[in-house]
Structure 1
């Protein structure tokens, strides 16, 4: 589980600020600290230095290896952000190798996101990037790479293919071969390295890249409500175990929406959980909440990695108001329901139930928030009562108040009264599901 520095520091980073962040991350229970964009070349904004994969000595005067050792000494793994396929016009790399960029035949360079695309059909380009990355990975004893992809290919012309006399219609195939070659070289040299891929707007989330990257950054859009549709759609084709989801700061960077910390966590928990916000600005109560969330997620993680997932109420891009996701182990002894209501309903007076199709009819389940066990047959045919919504007259009874509501309901199969009593005692200790 990572703590990523990006939305905490952006490009304004230094060792002291990052160490404060990492120490708080260790306190709340993350496993890995990831230093995002801004650590290399002369990178103080997004106008320069892509392709110059060497330490920014102004920000890390003792070297990146020294900083990495400080992170490792905290008991954390260390990760770094790279965008290996891209180059900035303002970079040493581009000044040395202007012909290593994908462009139009007549030499026009189309810039997007202040960067060009490197010609990965050219083995010399791939080898150069590998050599640079290899030095950094070796120096830092790196555990994790966040591989980013922030623009698409708009002019598919390779000066290299023209030089060696190959047709340009080979470009995309050869580009992907070069891209896979870089992955293969990195993972052969560093078999312990975890590389998180990037969906790149959706076009890079595929079975081929999953051979190299077991998890993929699903989208830069981390707003919890937007993610209901993004993750519902992704889950139609791919398991939760390969979807990387972060709890990020509010107001959300992409849409400006402010959602509760609990809802952000509950959405992100249906995948590979991470955090990406400035922990130094959070209250002690918020830090304690995140610590509880991480503890809960460790209990949930076996289901995320190996369980069965059902979209009971998926959210489409045009959106319906209620979304429900269900996780279960293969034996149907443990189930977890994620329930999300985007907007509150005015004067809602009905009690709502959600049918749980994966419950076993002949098994009883203890459900958090309920006073006793419920049979699987009832859960299948009638359902579980959803948390009560505020309707202007039931403030004392309401469990969900306001917009962007959510709940996690756990269903633990029980077989005897002793197990039921133990579960009843544990019920009072659970902090995350309804907090």
Structure 2
């Protein structure tokens, strides 16, 4: 009798184990693009077999076995009976379908290296940013093209094209499947961290659409950050990023009301904040600090998030410390966005009059071209300074630029109050 839970089991195993499966296949075949295709073929076969025959005792081993045997079939069809084929054949034997004895294929000592190599290849600097994000979510996160497209509100065909182009680019650049050396790892870690951060940012504050938070996307980024911190425990910024994501996500339960409308920080019920996430975030931040190498950009942002997490209210937040942390962040990674956030902190620590010149100095910054952020902050400062006509102009401009329907409702309420 067919097992109705088979398809659910396939989805669950794939989400958890896809990175290990693709990584192992890439190591065996030496071809990253081929490995991803083989893994997808194994997934398709599982979707047919598992509901009918039941879930195998070792689901991940089953998928890996199918993928490896598909690789052998491909080598045979191309008459590529070389050393690689011979080695694979010796490992697998000449059997057809995978059986219950396939546990031997899973090499726990190699798994971490495979996943680490997969993350660094998916985030390789040779790829465009959009391609890195799509490929990481596909081969490391295990998301389908449809899921990625839904998360970023783009057509599925666009996501598929990005993934295909990324694989062709990696092949053309002859990027080997291997964990980079210690020196290369340090140099390229920033690219990996940035991709995970971009995924989380889109999830935590959706750039468009009718939802403020895309919990699945933010959750996937947090999962990737946990994997990375485990794979590279000696790199403080992996812990810094994880701390930032945990501490930011801790506020999710209070960031929206029952109808999905955004709730501003000063209006949030802090009793609803996720204390477990705050604890995990503070522990990760402590690990980053314990390295004794100083906090990096993500660690500094996590320290700012910690200031909010431990404060009983907006008024009791240590805004002077937040300003200092933003100043340190600005020296480490100069950015108009950092300056804008510093201006907000300055307005809380010293008043809106002290912050307005900082905001005015950011006018014309390319980072805010087409963005509602700058006029939103300026409108808020002008409101607090008792200049409603100027504030209205800024908030109307922000409303014109904002693409997220939930954030637009906040701007409309601010305008109505004026």
Same-fold status (TM-score > 0.5): no
TM-score (norm 1): 0.27
TM-score (norm 2): 0.27
Q: Which has the higher helix share?
A: 2
